[in-house]
Protein backbone atom coordinates (compact mmCIF):
# COMPACT_ATOMS: atom_id res chain seq x y z
CA UNK A 1 0.00 0.00 0.00
CA UNK A 2 1.22 3.49 -0.90
CA UNK A 3 1.65 5.38 2.39
CA UNK A 4 2.49 8.65 0.60
CA UNK A 5 -1.01 10.19 0.79
CA UNK A 6 -1.24 9.37 4.50
CA UNK A 7 2.12 10.98 5.19
CA UNK A 8 0.98 14.09 3.31
CA UNK A 9 -2.36 14.25 5.14
CA UNK A 10 -0.55 13.82 8.46
CA UNK A 11 1.91 16.62 7.67
CA UNK A 12 -0.73 19.09 6.49
CA UNK A 13 -3.09 18.23 9.36
CA UNK A 14 -0.29 18.80 11.87
CA UNK A 15 0.46 22.21 10.34
CA UNK A 16 -3.24 23.03 10.28
CA UNK A 17 -3.65 22.21 13.99
CA UNK A 18 -0.43 23.98 15.04
CA UNK A 19 -2.34 27.07 16.30
CA UNK A 20 -3.71 24.94 19.17
CA UNK A 21 -0.16 24.15 20.31
CA UNK A 22 0.94 27.77 19.94
CA UNK A 23 -2.07 29.01 21.94
CA UNK A 24 -0.86 26.89 24.87
CA UNK A 25 2.32 29.00 24.74
CA UNK A 26 0.53 32.32 24.37
CA UNK A 27 2.28 33.64 27.49
CA UNK A 28 5.69 33.38 25.75
CA UNK A 29 6.64 36.41 23.59
CA UNK A 30 6.77 35.57 19.87
CA UNK A 31 10.50 36.18 19.44
CA UNK A 32 11.34 33.95 22.42
CA UNK A 33 9.00 31.25 21.12
CA UNK A 34 10.65 31.32 17.69
CA UNK A 35 14.10 31.18 19.30
CA UNK A 36 13.04 28.05 21.20
CA UNK A 37 11.58 26.62 18.00
CA UNK A 38 14.94 27.11 16.28
CA UNK A 39 16.91 25.71 19.25
CA UNK A 40 14.89 22.55 19.87
CA UNK A 41 14.30 21.88 16.16
CA UNK A 42 18.06 22.04 15.58
CA UNK A 43 18.69 19.69 18.52
CA UNK A 44 16.04 17.26 17.24
CA UNK A 45 17.29 17.29 13.64
CA UNK A 46 20.95 16.93 14.63
CA UNK A 47 19.91 14.00 16.82
CA UNK A 48 18.20 12.32 13.87
CA UNK A 49 21.30 12.77 11.69
CA UNK A 50 23.59 11.43 14.43
CA UNK A 51 21.29 8.49 15.20
CA UNK A 52 21.13 7.53 11.51
CA UNK A 53 24.93 7.84 11.24
CA UNK A 54 24.81 10.52 8.56
CA UNK A 55 26.86 13.21 10.31
CA UNK A 56 29.94 12.81 8.12
CA UNK A 57 27.84 12.97 4.96
CA UNK A 58 25.99 16.01 6.34
CA UNK A 59 29.24 17.86 7.07
CA UNK A 60 30.56 17.22 3.57
CA UNK A 61 27.25 18.30 1.98
CA UNK A 62 26.99 21.65 3.78
CA UNK A 63 30.60 22.87 3.44
CA UNK A 64 30.34 24.13 -0.15
CA UNK A 65 30.16 27.98 -0.27
CA UNK A 66 27.22 27.96 -2.72
CA UNK A 67 25.25 25.72 -0.38
CA UNK A 68 25.78 28.10 2.55
CA UNK A 69 24.70 31.15 0.52
CA UNK A 70 21.48 29.46 -0.62
CA UNK A 71 20.57 28.25 2.86
CA UNK A 72 21.35 31.55 4.57
CA UNK A 73 18.66 33.05 2.32
CA UNK A 74 16.33 30.14 3.12
CA UNK A 75 16.97 30.53 6.86
CA UNK A 76 16.16 34.25 6.78
CA UNK A 77 12.90 33.66 4.88
CA UNK A 78 11.67 30.82 7.10
CA UNK A 79 12.71 32.74 10.23
CA UNK A 80 10.57 35.74 9.24
CA UNK A 81 7.73 33.39 8.24
CA UNK A 82 7.77 31.58 11.60
CA UNK A 83 7.94 34.85 13.56
CA UNK A 84 5.00 36.48 11.75
CA UNK A 85 2.97 33.27 11.94
CA UNK A 86 3.48 32.80 15.68
CA UNK A 87 2.78 36.47 16.40
CA UNK A 88 -0.35 36.35 14.20
CA UNK A 89 -1.75 33.22 15.85
CA UNK A 90 -1.14 34.39 19.42
CA UNK A 91 -2.42 37.91 18.69
CA UNK A 92 -5.81 36.69 17.47
CA UNK A 93 -5.25 36.68 13.70
CA UNK A 94 -5.54 32.97 12.87
CA UNK A 95 -8.04 33.70 10.08
CA UNK A 96 -5.64 36.16 8.48
CA UNK A 97 -2.73 33.71 8.77
CA UNK A 98 -4.86 31.09 6.99
CA UNK A 99 -5.43 33.54 4.12
CA UNK A 100 -1.65 33.76 3.68
CA UNK A 101 -1.40 30.01 3.08
CA UNK A 102 -4.47 30.00 0.83
CA UNK A 103 -2.86 32.52 -1.53
CA UNK A 104 0.66 31.10 -1.19
CA UNK A 105 0.40 28.71 -4.20
CA UNK A 106 -0.69 31.56 -6.47
CA UNK A 107 2.11 33.77 -5.12
CA UNK A 108 4.59 30.97 -5.87
CA UNK A 109 3.33 30.84 -9.45
CA UNK A 110 3.59 34.62 -9.76
CA UNK A 111 7.15 34.59 -8.41
CA UNK A 112 8.00 31.94 -11.01
CA UNK A 113 6.74 34.28 -13.74
CA UNK A 114 8.65 37.29 -12.43
CA UNK A 115 11.93 35.60 -11.51
CA UNK A 116 12.13 32.63 -13.88
CA UNK A 117 10.06 33.99 -16.80
CA UNK A 118 7.70 31.04 -16.65
CA UNK A 119 4.66 31.34 -18.94
CA UNK A 120 1.15 31.04 -17.56
CA UNK A 121 -1.89 29.69 -19.36
CA UNK A 122 -4.88 32.09 -19.71
CA UNK A 123 -6.97 30.51 -16.94
CA UNK A 124 -4.02 30.69 -14.55
CA UNK A 125 -3.95 34.46 -15.10
CA UNK A 126 -7.68 34.54 -14.34
CA UNK A 127 -7.06 32.68 -11.08
CA UNK A 128 -4.33 35.14 -10.05
CA UNK A 129 -6.68 38.00 -10.99
CA UNK A 130 -9.38 36.72 -8.61
CA UNK A 131 -6.85 36.28 -5.79
CA UNK A 132 -5.47 39.78 -6.35
CA UNK A 133 -8.99 41.23 -6.39
CA UNK A 134 -9.70 39.48 -3.08
CA UNK A 135 -6.58 40.93 -1.44
CA UNK A 136 -7.36 44.42 -2.80
CA UNK A 137 -10.94 44.19 -1.52
CA UNK A 138 -9.76 43.08 1.93
CA UNK A 139 -7.29 45.98 1.98
CA UNK A 140 -10.12 48.43 1.30
CA UNK A 141 -12.45 46.69 3.79
CA UNK A 142 -9.82 46.57 6.58
CA UNK A 143 -8.56 50.05 5.85
CA UNK A 144 -5.08 48.52 5.83
CA UNK A 145 -3.06 46.07 3.79
CA UNK A 146 -3.47 42.47 5.14
CA UNK A 147 0.26 42.43 5.84
CA UNK A 148 0.22 39.22 7.89
CA UNK A 149 -1.27 37.24 4.99
CA UNK A 150 1.01 38.81 2.38
CA UNK A 151 4.15 38.41 4.49
CA UNK A 152 3.39 34.74 5.11
CA UNK A 153 2.55 34.12 1.44
CA UNK A 154 5.61 35.86 0.01
CA UNK A 155 8.13 34.60 2.57
CA UNK A 156 6.94 31.00 2.19
CA UNK A 157 6.73 31.40 -1.59
CA UNK A 158 10.26 32.80 -1.63
CA UNK A 159 11.38 29.99 0.68
CA UNK A 160 9.96 27.46 -1.77
CA UNK A 161 11.83 29.06 -4.67
CA UNK A 162 15.12 29.09 -2.75
CA UNK A 163 14.62 25.45 -1.75
CA UNK A 164 13.93 24.65 -5.40
CA UNK A 165 17.50 25.59 -6.30
CA UNK A 166 19.00 24.24 -3.08
CA UNK A 167 21.00 21.02 -3.49
CA UNK A 168 20.17 19.48 -0.08
CA UNK A 169 17.28 17.23 0.86
CA UNK A 170 14.66 18.21 3.44
CA UNK A 171 16.48 16.77 6.47
CA UNK A 172 19.90 18.25 5.69
CA UNK A 173 18.40 21.51 4.46
CA UNK A 174 16.26 22.18 7.53
CA UNK A 175 19.12 21.16 9.84
CA UNK A 176 21.42 23.67 8.16
CA UNK A 177 18.75 26.39 8.22
CA UNK A 178 18.09 25.97 11.94
CA UNK A 179 21.84 25.76 12.52
CA UNK A 180 22.29 29.13 10.80
CA UNK A 181 19.56 30.65 12.98
CA UNK A 182 20.84 28.95 16.14
CA UNK A 183 23.49 31.54 17.10
CA UNK A 184 21.15 34.58 17.06
CA UNK A 185 18.47 32.48 18.79
CA UNK A 186 20.84 31.48 21.61
CA UNK A 187 22.11 35.05 21.97
CA UNK A 188 18.57 36.37 22.28
CA UNK A 189 17.52 33.68 24.78
CA UNK A 190 20.66 34.38 26.83
CA UNK A 191 19.82 38.09 26.86
CA UNK A 192 16.23 37.40 27.99
CA UNK A 193 17.55 35.15 30.74
CA UNK A 194 20.06 37.78 31.88
CA UNK A 195 17.29 40.33 32.45
CA UNK A 196 15.03 37.70 34.10
CA UNK A 197 12.47 37.79 31.27
CA UNK A 198 13.15 34.34 29.86
CA UNK A 199 10.12 32.03 29.90
CA UNK A 200 12.10 28.78 30.10
CA UNK A 201 12.45 27.42 33.68
CA UNK A 202 10.37 30.33 34.96
CA UNK A 203 6.79 29.58 33.88
CA UNK A 204 6.25 26.03 35.09
CA UNK A 205 7.09 22.47 34.06
CA UNK A 206 4.25 22.19 31.52
CA UNK A 207 5.40 25.34 29.74
CA UNK A 208 8.99 24.06 29.68
CA UNK A 209 7.90 20.72 28.19
CA UNK A 210 5.84 22.52 25.54
CA UNK A 211 8.82 24.73 24.63
CA UNK A 212 11.08 21.69 24.23
CA UNK A 213 8.32 19.84 22.37
CA UNK A 214 8.05 22.54 19.73
CA UNK A 215 11.15 21.01 18.15
CA UNK A 216 9.28 17.74 17.71
CA UNK A 217 6.18 19.57 16.43
CA UNK A 218 8.36 21.31 13.83
CA UNK A 219 10.51 18.38 12.70
CA UNK A 220 7.98 15.53 12.47
CA UNK A 221 5.57 17.12 9.92
CA UNK A 222 8.52 18.19 7.76
CA UNK A 223 9.92 14.66 7.77
CA UNK A 224 6.45 13.27 6.97
CA UNK A 225 6.18 15.72 4.09
CA UNK A 226 9.64 14.71 2.85
CA UNK A 227 8.49 11.07 2.88
CA UNK A 228 5.24 11.91 1.06
CA UNK A 229 6.60 14.10 -1.74
CA UNK A 230 8.41 11.39 -3.77
CA UNK A 231 5.58 8.86 -3.30
CA UNK A 232 2.60 10.77 -4.72
CA UNK A 233 1.89 12.90 -7.81
CA UNK A 234 2.54 16.63 -7.53
CA UNK A 235 -1.08 17.33 -8.47
CA UNK A 236 -2.35 15.35 -5.44
CA UNK A 237 0.18 17.04 -3.19
CA UNK A 238 -1.10 20.40 -4.46
CA UNK A 239 -4.70 19.53 -3.57
CA UNK A 240 -3.83 18.16 -0.13
CA UNK A 241 -1.91 21.32 0.83
CA UNK A 242 -5.23 23.14 1.36
CA UNK A 243 -5.91 20.91 4.38
CA UNK A 244 -3.60 23.14 6.43
CA UNK A 245 -5.12 26.63 5.84
CA UNK A 246 -8.64 25.17 5.90
CA UNK A 247 -8.06 23.74 9.40
CA UNK A 248 -6.47 27.01 10.51
CA UNK A 249 -9.44 28.97 9.18
CA UNK A 250 -11.96 26.69 10.92
CA UNK A 251 -10.01 26.89 14.19
CA UNK A 252 -9.96 30.68 14.01
CA UNK A 253 -13.69 31.05 13.32
CA UNK A 254 -15.25 28.11 15.20
CA UNK A 255 -12.89 27.46 18.11
CA UNK A 256 -11.26 30.81 18.89
CA UNK A 257 -14.29 32.86 17.79
CA UNK A 258 -12.37 35.32 15.66
CA UNK A 259 -14.71 37.67 13.75
CA UNK A 260 -15.52 36.76 10.16
CA UNK A 261 -17.49 39.58 8.61
CA UNK A 262 -19.33 39.86 5.31
CA UNK A 263 -16.43 41.91 3.93
CA UNK A 264 -14.00 39.14 4.86
CA UNK A 265 -16.33 36.57 3.29
CA UNK A 266 -16.33 38.51 0.00
CA UNK A 267 -12.53 38.91 0.02
CA UNK A 268 -11.88 35.29 1.00
CA UNK A 269 -14.53 34.17 -1.52
CA UNK A 270 -12.65 35.90 -4.33
CA UNK A 271 -9.41 34.18 -3.27
CA UNK A 272 -11.18 30.80 -2.98
CA UNK A 273 -12.68 31.30 -6.46
CA UNK A 274 -9.19 31.89 -7.82
CA UNK A 275 -7.96 28.71 -6.13
CA UNK A 276 -10.85 26.65 -7.55
CA UNK A 277 -10.13 27.96 -11.05
CA UNK A 278 -6.41 27.33 -10.59
CA UNK A 279 -6.91 23.79 -9.30
CA UNK A 280 -9.50 22.85 -11.94
CA UNK A 281 -7.39 24.24 -14.78
CA UNK A 282 -4.32 22.43 -13.48
CA UNK A 283 -6.25 19.15 -13.24
CA UNK A 284 -7.48 19.29 -16.84
CA UNK A 285 -4.11 20.53 -18.13
CA UNK A 286 -2.42 17.58 -16.40
CA UNK A 287 -4.93 15.13 -17.91
CA UNK A 288 -4.45 16.62 -21.38
CA UNK A 289 -0.67 16.38 -21.04
CA UNK A 290 -0.90 12.76 -19.87
CA UNK A 291 -3.22 11.89 -22.77
CA UNK A 292 -0.84 13.54 -25.25
CA UNK A 293 2.13 11.63 -23.82
CA UNK A 294 0.20 8.37 -24.06
CA UNK A 295 -0.74 9.19 -27.66
CA UNK A 296 2.90 9.86 -28.56
CA UNK A 297 3.93 6.54 -26.98
CA UNK A 298 1.22 4.68 -28.91
CA UNK A 299 2.30 6.27 -32.21
CA UNK A 300 5.92 5.39 -31.45
CA UNK A 301 5.01 1.74 -30.80
CA UNK A 302 2.96 1.52 -34.02
CA UNK A 303 5.86 2.92 -36.04
CA UNK A 304 8.16 0.39 -34.44
CA UNK A 305 5.79 -2.44 -35.40
CA UNK A 306 5.47 -1.10 -38.98
CA UNK A 307 9.23 -1.02 -39.40
CA UNK A 308 9.45 -4.65 -38.31
Q: Count the domains in the chain.
A: 1
Q: What is the pLDDT of residue 67?
A: 87
Q: What is the pLDDT of residue 192?
A: 93
Cα–Cα distance measured from residue 110 to residue 124, given in angstroms and rounded to the nearest whole number = 10
Whether 81 and 159 have beta carbons less than 8 Å apart is answered as: yes
Q: What is the pLDDT of residue 289?
A: 75
Q: What is the pLDDT of residue 305?
A: 54
Choose among 147, 112, 136, 95: nearest CA to 260.
95
Positions in the chain short of pLDDT 50: none
Q: What is the pLDDT of residue 275?
A: 82
Q: What is the pLDDT of residue 308?
A: 53
Local structure of 80: helix, strand or coil? helix
Q: What is the pLDDT of residue 233?
A: 67
Q: What is the pLDDT of residue 11?
A: 87
Count of alpha carbons within 13 angstroms of residue 234, beta-carbon side: 4
Q: Which uninterrupted H or E stretch holds 298?
A: helix 262-307
What residue numbers bound the domain in which 204 lies?
A: 4-307
Q: What is the pLDDT of residue 34?
A: 94
Residues 6+ apart with CB under 8 A from 156: 77, 78, 81, 100, 101, 104
Amino acid sequence: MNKGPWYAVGAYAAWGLLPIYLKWLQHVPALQLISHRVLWSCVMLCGIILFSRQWSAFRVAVMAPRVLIVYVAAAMLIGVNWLVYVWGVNSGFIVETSLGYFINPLVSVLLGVVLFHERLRPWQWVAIGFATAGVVYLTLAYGRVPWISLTLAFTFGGYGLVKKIGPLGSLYGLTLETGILLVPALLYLSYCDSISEGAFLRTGAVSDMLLVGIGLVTAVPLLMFASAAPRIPLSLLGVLQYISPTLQFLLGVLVYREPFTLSQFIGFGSVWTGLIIFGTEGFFAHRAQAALSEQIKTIGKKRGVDKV
